[in-house]
Amino acid sequence: MSSHKIVVGNWKMNKDYHQAIELVKHLTNLISERKPLNTTIVLSPNFLYIKDAIELVKDFECIKIGAQNCSHKSSGAYTGEVSAEMLSSMGVEFCIVGHSERREYFAETDSMILEKIILLLQNKIKPIYCCGEKLEERENDTFCSVIENQLNNSVLNLNANQIVNVVIAYEPVWAIGTGKTASAKQAGEMHQFIYECLIKKYGAETAEQVSILYGGSCNPKNAQELFSTKHINGGLIGGASLIAEDFYSILNS
């Protein structure tokens, strides 16, 4: 089996309840009218809207609902946390972990991220693991070792049966929400690098099965070139996933 095409909409902390429901309906209308290509679509609204979103997409085989985060603890006295088991019991199939915004604003460490990944896998949820370098790390040419460290401290600790259920997203921090996309060449080099890290640890047959997504100012104009680059198996979309027509256009790229 080779890596699968996946496009994820990360809505972050945007949209009130009514707007979020409208967005899901608008998208499902576009998809049923025009039919998408051979791609898994993951919508990641906030926790509160997940139940309704799952109900709205239940007749769409290609659309899955994802969470944006989960707790690194399995259960117990952790006020305000949402566990992987809770998400699983609601029908959530994917969960973003290690997003740079969580690393930066909520002090998430690689070891917490690995704990989350293991809990998600135990609960049959596919983690969407984010890695990416900061601007100064791109400029001082340390970006490959930064990514390698992030991978070594998290997903590369998994065994082969586990890693094939993980999606990796390369999101250079300098490209997130900035309008500054990595060029297809820059992104392609990093995807190749991540793929080689996977080969080194698991061999080619297993590495082939792991989808590697690009994220960071991806939009209807640049998606096609990015997605046709080798080892870019889809995208993790922020801003452009909040507009149904734009997101649909990215899906078709």
What are the residue numbers of the active site?
99, 171
Q: Which stretch binds ligand 13P (CB under 6 A): 82-90, 140-148, 156-164, 230-238?
A: 230-238
Within 10 angstroms of residue 149's Cβ, the number of other Cβ atoms is: 13
Site string for ligand 13P, 152-191 (x = CB under 6 A): -------------------x----xx--------------
Distance of CA 187 to the CA centre of its chain: 15
Q: Which stretch binds ligand 13P (CB under 6 A): 16-24, 45-53, 142-150, 209-217?
A: 209-217
* Nearer Cβ to ligand 13P (173/201): 173
* Nearer Cβ to ligand 13P (190/202): 190
Distance in angstroms (rounded) separating the CA atoms of residues 205 and 187: 22
Within 10 angstroms of residue 61's Cβ, the number of other Cβ atoms is: 8
CB of 32 to ligand 13P, least distance (A): 25
Q: Residues 6 or more apart from 145 whose CB is under 8 A from it?
A: none
Q: Residues 6 or more apart from 27 whose CB is under 8 A from it?
A: 43, 63, 244, 247, 248
Distance in angstroms (rounded) separating the CA atoms of residues 193 and 57: 35
Within 10 angstroms of residue 113's Cβ, the number of other Cβ atoms is: 24
Q: Is 36 in the site for ligand 13P (CB under 6 A)?
A: no
Which of 95, 218, 223, 244 touches ligand 13P (CB under 6 A)?
218
Q: Is 216 in the site for ligand 13P (CB under 6 A)?
A: yes
* Residues making contact with ligand 13P (CB under 6 A): 10, 99, 171, 176-177, 215-218, 236-240
